[in-house]
Structure 1
């Protein structure tokens, strides 16, 4: 999402493309609105699981897909005539460095759900992979992108379950992370963006797009400004939002909530990628029952027990996965 969303400046010689700056700025504001909803859920102002289901889930995935699509467009626009190595490495270093910072901060803040492969990691990795597609025909790049989206829907394997392979996106056990954006399927919109940009360059659509003005009013100007400085916006918006929500919680605390429905909802949301609703319902009910019966539920919810610190957690996940698969209707 950042100069993230740009591994490259969205411009043609001598001119920025205002429409792309505006689109990126709008995507950032949409992201901030979703994160604000997520924040107030974490503080107890919304029922747990609200932002991981239904329209909220669609909204979040649309935002992530939009950022990656724009990142692919920007990479192609910047390097369509040849890889400009120094600018590419500079931007890649900024994105990868910001991704590492996010991982470090969240590891200490939320160790059981820290971000080890989020949107920034995905954009950095996709940018490197995208270099191999710069010279390929647009249709090949788009088809490869579609393939990345379809692959995790039809294929997953236990060999991708180790934590160090979760970034691929083909594991059968849903990982725990506050922002999980693996290459499969999210490399897909990035490559589709590259293909769309290549086609736009060939048809001179980008030149016409560069002539489109997005308005001189203050709101449009601020939105474009955010789009041009998206990395800074991404890094700063959550601390600002969390400070606002925390301050509000001190002045007007939320009502206490039962953690059980939220745990089940979050479990089902994390399970939904590549699994049926029936399987996820059985799996999450099994996990909940096992955690409660073994006296681990409260400790798990409090972060005192994690899959890394207690071998019983992954054992429960494996047991419930097998039981849920066996219970599947013929």
Structure 2
């Protein structure tokens, strides 16, 4: 998780040529991390088993902490990233799922497995049904059943992600009694590394909340001293240029050559820079360069 956030931060601050966290591999890694987190949420619910021997108080305190942290993240991102603030991220999903999963702690295991499969398949089933426009309403985006993918820095809707929590509950109910009765159940953490890992696991919410501000703070300092990577943004620009070029009727080869040409000439003309602020005259020059590159690439 921390490594993924470090990768995202480096790209966001333009310290790497491309934001690798936003590439297909990076997104797959993010989904894998989120899925594993949510499976562990389900397993932890089995371990804590609210209501057993009057253990509702620890559950409610934990739920309150997670909900408060989720609210704090939403509030902070409204100010930090107003165009992509987090309205239903991983903590929001964990808070809601921790309540919705309670019946799964006592339900028949086949029913839990079926529910997990249906929730995981929910977005695909909704798409097959035509995803009614109502599901794209802003107030229902937390479900994840609509066709709209909102612009937000963290989006973990109930469908399909609640399915991972249900899967974790099922896995925990099946595996934990067997593990507890095996030799694995007697293993205790040893050494400083083991104790540190145990402490991090017990205080995972604090680790989650603290590590990203610390990383961003450190990297902002690096960015201020070193400046952006000289080739930051190039790969994304070329992808977007090729997509726009193809939509305009350009051939794949011509669009690829033209995209490379545009980057080189924008740099040569001093028009390649982050942050915008281009004058009308500079915009006109950039458009002219783009057309020239497209023509020279054989695009027309």
Please classify the TM superposition score into its range, dividing by the shorter chain length: 0.7 to 0.9
Partner Cα separation in structure 1 for residue 237 and residue 34 of structure 2 = 24
Q: CA deviation at 1:173?
A: 1.4
Which range moves more in the overlay, 68-77 or 51-60?
Answer: 51-60
Which range moves more in the overlay, 115-124 or 158-167?
Answer: 158-167
Structure 1: segments with no counterpart, 5+ residues: 1-30, 268-280, 287-300, 304-330
Secondary structure of 1:111 counterpart: coil
Partner Cα separation in structure 2 for residue 112 and residue 80 of structure 1 = 38
Aligned residues: 243
> What's 1:178 paired with?
153
Secondary structure of 1:112 counterpart: coil
Which range moves more in the overlay, 75-84 or 63-72?
Answer: 75-84
In structure 2, the CA distance between the partners of 1:194 and 1:264, relative to structure 1 (3 Å rule), is: farther
> What's 1:197 paired with?
172
Secondary structure of 1:105 counterpart: helix
Residue 210, structure 1, aligned to residue 185, structure 2: yes
The structure number with the bigger radius of gyration is 2
TM-score after normalising by structure 1: 0.67
Partner Cα separation in structure 1 for residue 120 and residue 65 of structure 2 = 27
Contact 2:8–2:19, Cα closer than 8 Å, also in 1: no
> What's 2:208 paired with?
234
> What's 1:95 paired with?
66
**1:255 maps to which of 200, 204, 229:** 229
> What's 2:140 paired with?
165
Structure 2: segments with no counterpart, 5+ residues: 249-273, 277-300
**What RMSD over aligned residues (CA atoms) do the two structures have, in Å?**
2.7
Contact 2:13–2:228, Cα closer than 8 Å, also in 1: yes
Secondary structure of 2:229 counterpart: coil
Contact 1:126–1:187, Cα closer than 8 Å, also in 2: yes
TM-score after normalising by structure 2: 0.73
In structure 2, the CA distance between the partners of 1:54 and 1:205, relative to structure 1 (3 Å rule), is: same
Contact 2:119–2:160, Cα closer than 8 Å, also in 1: yes
In structure 2, the CA distance between the partners of 1:74 and 1:123, relative to structure 1 (3 Å rule), is: same
Secondary structure of 2:99 counterpart: helix
In structure 2, the CA distance between the partners of 1:302 and 1:89, relative to structure 1 (3 Å rule), is: farther
Contact 1:80–1:134, Cα closer than 8 Å, also in 2: no
1:111-130 to structure 2, matched below 5 A, reads: 111-130=82-101
In structure 2, the CA distance between the partners of 1:302 and 1:132, relative to structure 1 (3 Å rule), is: farther
Secondary structure of 1:113 counterpart: coil
Q: CA deviation at 1:154?
A: 3.1
Secondary structure of 1:116 counterpart: coil
Residue 72, structure 1, aligned to residue 46, structure 2: no
Q: CA deviation at 1:263?
A: 7.5
Greater relative CO (CA pairs within 8 A, separation 6+): 1
